[in-house]
């Protein structure tokens, strides 16, 4: 495999995924410290989605490895912010 490919694609993707995985573990530790019931199926899906988002965000922000890792950790928040910025608010009419 070409070393340039590893540097440009694989490493940022792995770092982004690691950031997403770290975020999932932090959420688990928070839930455990608050003595909340852990729904393992939901947690597994959440961690998997965080890793996938982290991989893609890590590839987008691949100018610096630290940024890929941080972007993977915060990837879900980034997407949620984008979604909220385009979200249409509901309008209620009086009858």
Whole-model pTM?
0.64
**CA angle at residue 76 from 22 to 56, to 5 degrees?**
85
Are 26 and 76 within 8 A, CB to CB? no
The percent of residues in the chain predicted with pLDDT above 70, rounded, is 76
Asked whether residue 26 carries a pLDDT value surpassing 70, the answer given is yes
Return the pLDDT at 34.
Answer: 92
For residue 29, the Cα-to-chain-centroid distance in whole angstroms is 17
* Residue 87, phi-psi category: left (phi > 0), alpha (psi -120 to 50), beta (remainder): beta
As given in the structure block, the two tokens for residue 9 are 């694609």
Between residues 29 and 74, the one the model is more confident about: 29
Are 51 and 20 within 8 A, CB to CB? yes
- The domains of the chain are located at 3-86
């Amino acid at each position: 495999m070409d070393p340039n490919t590893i540097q440009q694609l694989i490493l940022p993707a792995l770092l982004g995924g690691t950031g997403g995985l770290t975020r999932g573990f932090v959420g688990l530790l928070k839930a455990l410290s608050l003595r909340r019931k852990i729904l393992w199926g939901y947690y597994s899906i959440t961690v998997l989605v965080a890793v996938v988002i982290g991989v893609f965000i890590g590839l987008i922000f691949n100018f610096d490895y630290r940024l890929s890792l941080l972007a993977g950790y915060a990837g879900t928040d980034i997407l949620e912010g984008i979604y909220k910025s385009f979200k249409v608010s509901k309008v209620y009419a009086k009858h």
